[in-house]
Chains A and B, each alone.
Chain A
Amino acid sequence: MIYADNAATTKMSEAAINTMLNVMKESYGNPSSLYGIGQHAKEILEEARVKIASVIGADPGEITFTSGGSEADNQAIVSAAELGRKKGKMHIISTAIEHHAVLHTLEKLKKEGFDITLLDVHENGIVRPEEVEAAIRDDTCLVTIMYANNEIGTIQPIREIGAICRSRNVLFHTDAVQAIAHIPVNVKDDNIDMLSSSAHKYHGPKGVGFLYAKKGIRLTNIIEGGAQERGKRAGTENVPGIAAMAEALQEADTHMAENAAHMAAMRDKLIAGLREIPHAALNGDAEHRLPGNVNFCFEGIEGESLLLLLDDKGIQASSGSACTSGSLDPSHVLLAIGRVHDVAHGSLRLSIGEEITEEEVDYIIKSVKDVVGYLRSFSPVWRDLCAGKTPFIL
């Protein structure tokens, strides 16, 4: 089996599993209890906070534990919106390729009267800092732009955008779910005010993440009911999950440089191999790209059948096809970079992990070539393209 869907989720690391098991067995107390085992759990929680803060260049007091990236995105955006509303600033800037945790929260705010600007990401899937600058108005309360895209892997010029926001005195949030532990992220160097992260994208457990909010930013509660997390996130803390997240993050951070170098080399080999398929195109910038992300469109075929046949060959991947989303529209990210519906349906995302070998990459290339060729052999769309009845797009 070759698991190439690490952008969806990752396998937990041994260290993270062991940490989790140990905490569950030995430190089951409630961190809010005053007796020994409660206070011990509290210590574990605070140690995790210190570890995480140090990896991203934050202070421990700036980290709030959440149930994952989506909750962190929701809380960051709602908090900035509430701060803006009080000052009569009700304009938010984001991009068309954000995760739905961001886009749906913005849609909700739009119904409450906020004005939302979604910036174009152009053909390469990257926002232009000067367009962020130009979009900022006197009533802008937040700029929220993802660090790296989950589908096409493009890395945004976060540091420049952050600097612009600082100079214009506008809060800047970044959904760094795909970036943290994969590429260097430092909230100070990158001028970030708020940041979201999710543990299961870096070999930690599912259902746990964190929100970084710079000191002085007043958070609005999404979940009420207790004094946990300085009163900003109620609910007994997921101590085993949080401890495992800190362990996984530290481990990934320690090996980041070597892992990224290996993955980028394997990614580029994959891209070169898949480019040999006629009428296929890489989605997203080839250079400013996550080390593990490969995303292609193949003309004349549909993504779901491609995924099912790859699964039969032992390769797990994903697609932006409508058929895999449960809706009639293909991926909003592929549409945003200018892929038309017909082509976007034939997309394939391979998100490789650190353990991938050169032999596995060769096998993936061969398998994708075979499956694309097979599906094209009985595709009426492909027949019309080859017969010149409809023009090739790619």
Chain B
Amino acid sequence: MALYSEKVMDHFRNPRNVGVIEDANGIGEVGNAKCGDIMKMYLKIEDDIVQDVKFETFGCGSAIASSSMATELIKGKPVSEVAQLTNKAVAEALDGLPAYKMHCSVLAEEAIQSALADYYSKKEATAE
């Protein structure tokens, strides 16, 4: 049996939405290099829709695949829907992750929620 599902390996080998959005209006970074995984998410939100999303990840195969899958799940979606994204949805979309790698999907959820929180706090600051 392989370590990862075909889907994990596909997203790991050909990660979607890799890179940086220079004019992102929501950026979130989670994890630390000590535990071995860092994810950074860049969101470009317009009219309450995630128009664009990109990621950078330092981490293992499942961390890269989780980041990639998470970006696919939220691209083009309204922020209200993005706020509901769970790590479980990311893991399921990848046809599952080994039990000891589930924290990678948690990190993807946290990175997106952190970018979303950044978007809202920036929006609030502008409104003030």
- By a beta-carbon cutoff of 8 Å, the part of chain A in contact with chain B is 300-305, 308-309, 312, 321-324, 326, 328, 330, 341-342, 345, 378-383
Contacts and interface: CB of A to CB of B under 8 A. Distances in A.
Given A378-B15, A378-B56, A379-B56, A305 B61 contact: yes
Nearest to A377: B18
Contact of A323 (B18, B29, B36): B36
Given A380-B40, A380-B56, A383-B56, A345 B33 contact: yes
Contact of B36 (A312, A322, A378): A322
A291 B118 CA distance: 52
B79 to A, nearest CB: 23
Contacts, number: 67
A304 B33 contact: no
Contact of B29 (A312, A322, A380): A380
Contact of A381 (B15, B38, B61): B38
B35 A300 contact: no
Most buried by B among A303, A328, A341, A380: A380
A195 B53 CA distance: 58
Contacts of B60: 302-305, 321, 323-324
A338 to B, nearest CB: 15
B122 to A, nearest CB: 20
A341 B34 CA distance: 5
Given A302-B36, A321-B36, A326-B100, A380 B61 contact: no
B31 to A, nearest CB: 9
Contacts of A305: 12, 59-61, 63-64
Contacts of B58: 300-302, 379-382
A309 to B, nearest CB: 8
Given A305-B64, A308-B12, A378-B15, A342 B56 contact: no
Most buried by A among B9, B33, B37, B55: B33
What 4 pairs between A and B have smallest CB-CB spacing? Answer: A323-B60, A304-B60, A342-B33, A380-B40
B57 interface: yes
Interface string B22-38: 00000001000111111
B88 interface: no
Interface string B54-89: 011111110110000000000000000000000000
